[in-house]
Structure 1
Amino acid sequence: MKERYSMEKNFGTRVRQARHKAGLTQAALAEKLNLDETTISRIENGSQATSFATMLNFSEALDVKFDYLICDYLDDSIHSKDPINAEILDMITPLPDNYKRLIRDNIRQLLEKIPPEMGEK
């Protein structure tokens, strides 16, 4: 099991990334969530835990899927510890579903062009 601080730090990092992508300041996000700006800062820095309900509120306010904010804690079969797989997942998780499908289809086309012997480990 991951240390609590690590979990809080990772959640905070995801919140910060999503906030930047949404073009929001900490003050603007705090207003949307009816929280203090200091609370947003502490959550983003991993120094303050938050409730499950507040995590859901962050997801809604930032217009990201909840699993994006907590994807570091998903089962290993879903979120691989392989750094390349994790990097790919991190890049596509915040995208809308139509872009994810486009990327998936492109990957399938690329994989069809790889000779079978190249796919062996």
Structure 2
Amino acid sequence: MSLSIRLSRGGAKKRPYYRIVVANSRSPRDGRFIEKIGTYNPLLGKDDANRVVLDTERAKHWLSVGAQPTDRVARFLDAAGVKERAARSNPKKAEPGEKAKERAEERAAKLAAAQEAANAPAEEAVEA
């Protein structure tokens, strides 16, 4: 059985509240879980102590057994000092897509043509 440490959503519409749970990776997001090891309330301020409540001993146990945390839970575990999260780097993230590059090239070509057209009459006037 592959285990996952993930968030299980609760709360009302537009008022999310999450439980940090250990569950079978094949079970539904809000479905059956093995153990609740903490809570996460995104509505609280980032400096609030109750925003993320985590049982670090149980988290260490489940990680030693082979449970894999999701990205968000890995951030919480890193902040709690339980598991070091590897820094992620995506150098292509800020790079524009193909269509945007094509539009930029077309814009640059039009601008260059307009500048050449503007400079051409001035050069003819200087020669005359």
TM-score by length of 2: 0.26
Greater strand percent: which structure?
Answer: 2
Larger RCO, structure (CA 8 Å, separation 6 or more):
1
Structure with greater Cα Rg: 2
TM-score by length of 1: 0.27
Greater helix percent: which structure?
Answer: 1
